[in-house]
Amino acid sequence: MTKRTRANGEGSIFPYRNGYGAYTWVTTPAGLRKRKYVYGQTREIVHTKWIALTERARHEAVTTSSPTLGQYIAYWLRDVIEPNRAPLTHSTYETMCRLYIVPGLGQKRLDKLAVRDVQTWLTGLRTACQCCAQRKDAGRPEAKRRCCAVGRCCHAVLAPRSIRDLKTILRSALSNAVTEEVISKNVAALVKVPNKRTRKAKAWSSDEARAFLESAREGGDPMYAAFVLVLVLGLRKGEVLGLGWEQVDLDGAGLLIEWQVQRVRKQLLRRETKTEASDAGLPLPGICVSALRERRRRQQAQRLAAGSAWGASAAGADLVFTSAYGTPIDPRNFNRAFAARCDKASVRRITVHDARRTCATLLVDLDVHPRVIMQILRHAQFAVTMEVYAQASSPATTEALRRLGETLSQQSQGEAVPA
């Protein structure tokens, strides 16, 4: 007499190795009918899993095999992120995945990845020296090794911002896996990371901004007009460097923001601004018009001096800000030029992005109407602009900025500036 291995209603449960196994027929996301197996140490455990799987198969597609996280990340970067996101975004995601996510969690099966796995990994990154983990110091020439490779750990742990970024990237990848019905739950959305701390603003006062601009003008700084656009119009670094003469109307005192320059893996790319909200037509105060006229004269002189050595700008565009040989300016070099001018002007060193915060106060000093300031700053609510507008600076600074604009206007009618 044959011994029964299945009770009534248990379905295809069978002895398997040191426990039991079972299967049921499911429909995969590709529309195919396949067997899906579950396993456990006891018949009761397998029966419970089998019932849950059967119920799930009645309502949704079920995958019969699961890739590792590393395999899915490779597919996600190649087929989802690269074709649909900005080149810099893809480059950043690829770097973070290659250096941290894949080495830490890449061998985990996607359907077996648990909240605890992700939480333990992220917590460990907060204390693990990445110089040691990635053997950065060991990769340097022996004469230049200075820390981990010679027994002096530098404790180069990841910053809280990087930890949050890693969670965001992993959550995005797993969210795509849920959408594609590869997994049923996004475990990265459930982990805890350090709270974001609000950084205090480091904007200049109007006096500091005036001193900076006067120093750049009197010193003949080739980036003077770019500094004016950052401080007076609040343009981003990439927007300034991506500005073409076809977007500038000096006679009509306006410009159009449509492009930006970004550095992506040793390449300078001129591409559209990040969002439609970033695109805007802006009025040009007098100080901006004068500075751009001076910039155009200087560039024309440089073009004549360079002759056949004059290079093509990014994507063939006629950029406003180029090197002495017509090539696009690297954003990192712009950062260096800004920092160097801070030192020469004897003002506090701040970043280019922080300099944008000074924009509203300077516009107030130039007697620009609040509604125009709202347009320039791209504020959604007028109340926000008014709060900034109310913070006017000293009459002396206001008058000094006016004189600065008048001086530039007078210079724009003079001789061409030498290269």
The answer as to whether 277 is a domain residue is yes
* 212 & 356 share domain: yes
The answer as to whether 5 is a domain residue is no
In angstroms, the CA 122 to CA 104 distance is 9
The 3-state DSSP class for residue 25 equals strand
Q: pTM score, two decimals?
A: 0.70
Strand partners, 68: 109
Tens digit of pLDDT for each residue in 158-185? Answer: 999 999 999 999 999 999 999 887 888 8
Interval 141-159 mean pLDDT? 88
State the chain's mean pLDDT as an integer. 82
* 286 & 211 share domain: yes
On the question of pLDDT at 289 being above 60, the answer is yes
* 217 & 79 share domain: no
- Looking at the structure of the chain, the number of domains it has is 3
In one-letter notation, the amino acid at residue 298 is: R
The answer as to whether 417 is a domain residue is no
* 354 & 400 share domain: yes
The answer as to whether 2 is a domain residue is no
* 53 & 154 share domain: no
* 351 & 231 share domain: yes
* 254 & 394 share domain: yes
* 76 & 216 share domain: no
Tens digit of pLDDT for each residue in 29-73? Answer: 778 888 888 888 899 999 998 998 888 888 887 777 788 999 999
In angstroms, the CA 17 to CA 219 distance is 82
* 79 & 50 share domain: no
268 token code pair: 């300078």
The answer as to whether 3 is a domain residue is no
172: domain CATH number is 1.10.150.130
SS3 content of the chain, % helix, strand, coil (to 5): 55, 10, 35
Range of the domain at 309: 206-411
* 45 & 84 share domain: no
In one-letter notation, the amino acid at residue 269 is: L
Parallel/antiparallel/unpaired status of strands 248-249 and 12-16: unpaired
* 48 & 86 share domain: no
The answer as to whether 222 is a domain residue is yes
In angstroms, the CA 113 to CA 250 distance is 58
The answer as to whether 64 is a domain residue is no
pLDDT at residue 140, rounded to an integer: 87
335: domain CATH number is 1.10.443.10
In angstroms, the CA 75 to CA 78 distance is 5
